[in-house]
Amino acid sequence: MHYKDELTELVKEALKEGIPALVKEYGDENITVISIDADNTTGFGDDYSFTVFVNTEENQERRMKDEDDPDPWYYRFCEVEMYIVPDPDCFEKTLTFLNEGYASGMAMNEVYECIVNAVEKLREEKFFDSVFPHDILIAINGSEVFGVDDMVKFIVRMNGEELSKDYVENTDSFI
């Protein structure tokens, strides 16, 4: 198995384990977006880390409440405004593979490509349909690695055109 295929499978399994935990943690609110961030530029030996961001309708409304003229798309899609879950336990095997295995030299764009591939596979398997009662957007927090056009392509690949429409049409608000 090629290391990218192996990483894709590890990310897929991490998400299958971690997303139900997110639903348990934030399930009292209406989850709308889950965004995945991979980083190896922390300054601590350049080990990879993963962060998951979760947004809900309720969180978005709370954050917008005190603003004079809030941009709803910023508060919907900007990870800074979401709940933050640093280094979720479900990514332990993925991090070991990236930080200690033969894939430790993987470029950031390759890691994100594997994340996108994993989400595409989960969509094909209808995993998200089995966990959520409604459609949610799965995103990546890769704007430091990719330009807007590439980010849009990834979002559409992971979610389809219809579900990605608000993200695509409003990137000026949050990227």
pLDDT tens digits, one per residue of 106-131? 888 999 999 999 999 999 999 999 99
Instruction: Say yes or no to pLDDT of 44 above 70.
Output: no
User: What is the arithmetic mean of pLDDT over 132-147?
Assistant: 95
User: What is the arithmetic mean of pLDDT over 38-42?
Assistant: 78
Kindly give the residue spans of alpha helices, DSSP state H, lying in 27-126. 57-65, 72-77, 92-100, 108-124
| Residue 115: CB atoms within 10 Å | 26
Q: How confident is the model at residue 2 (pLDDT cuts 50, 70, 90)?
A: confident
| Per-residue model confidence (pLDDT) at position 1 | 54
DSSP class of residue 38 equals: E
Beta strands in the chain (DSSP E): 31-39, 49-56, 83-86, 137-140
Distance from C-alpha of 131 to C-alpha of 137, rounded to nearest angstrom:
13
User: What is the arithmetic mean of pLDDT over 158-163?
Assistant: 98
Q: Mean pLDDT for the chain? A: 93
The tally of CA atoms less than 13 A away on the side-chain side of residue 55 is 26
Q: What is the pLDDT of residues 10-31, one digit of tens each?
A: 999 999 999 999 999 998 999 9
Distance from C-alpha of 52 to C-alpha of 68, rounded to nearest angstrom:
29
Buried b (16+ CB within 10 A) or exposed e, 45-79: eeebbbbbbbbbeebbeebbeeeeeeeebbbbbbb
Is the model's pTM score more than 0.75?
Answer: yes
| Per-residue model confidence (pLDDT) at position 161 | 98
User: What is the arithmetic mean of pLDDT over 66-79?
Assistant: 95
| Per-residue model confidence (pLDDT) at position 79 | 97
**pLDDT > 70: what percent of the chain?**
94
Instruction: Say yes or no to pLDDT of 45 above 70.
Output: no
Task: Return the ∠ at Cα 84 (arms to 107 and 139), rounded to 5°.
Answer: 55
